Amino acid sequence: MSEEIEVEALEVEVSVQPIELYKVLKIANLVSGGGEAKYAISEGYVAVNGEIELRKRCKIYDGDVIEFNGEYFVVICDQPVQEAPPREQQANKVEPAAKVTKKDKKVSAPKTKKNKAAPATSKNRSVTKKEAEKADKKADTATGRKPISF
């Protein structure tokens, strides 16, 4: 024999459905942030419609009952369900900002007179003021940017 017990439930109003479970916990101020909500869900502290829910992004709809911390919450939403377009339609809508070619990816190290890569400079190497000014001028003409000095 199954007996139903009536329990007082608080209402949580959301503006869109479906909504992810962790967001409902945040909206209801049951947790201090999304990370805490996701942790509580993954550890099994949250039940949806009487069953433990371990999916953080479980879709919640109008009328779903969430149990957390010994309290019950009913999700209320007066907006119609918004369905995501199929993946094929989403793929057609997204256009790449720019295509990357091999030319764009090619990066070369600075060369010395003997056509070898320049050795890495040591962190402890001291630079004279004259060398620094020369490097600043070179950077100025090469990139068009002004150097920053502290």
Q: Say how far apart CA 34 and CA 53 lie, in whole Å.
A: 16
What are the start-end ranges of the E strands in 28-125? 46-48, 51-52, 59-60, 65-68, 71-76
Q: Say how far apart CA 34 and CA 23 lie, in whole Å.
A: 7
The domain 9-76 belongs to what CATH superfamily? RNA-binding S4 domain (3.10.290.10)
Per-residue confidence in pLDDT tens, the chain, 150 aa? 556 667 778 889 999 989 999 999 999 999 999 999 999 999 999 999 999 999 999 999 999 999 999 999 999 988 888 876 665 555 555 444 444 444 444 444 455 555 555 555 545 556 676 776 776 666 555 556 666 666
- Give the model's pLDDT for residue 85: 62
- Give the model's pLDDT for residue 141: 59
- Per-domain boundaries in the chain: 9-76
Q: Say how far apart CA 77 and CA 64 lie, in whole Å.
A: 10
CB 56 within 8 A of CB 20: yes
Residues linked to residue 48 through DSSP beta bridges, in sequence order? 51, 66
Counting Cβ atoms within 10 Å, is residue 36 exposed (0-12), middle (13-18) or buried (19+)?
middle
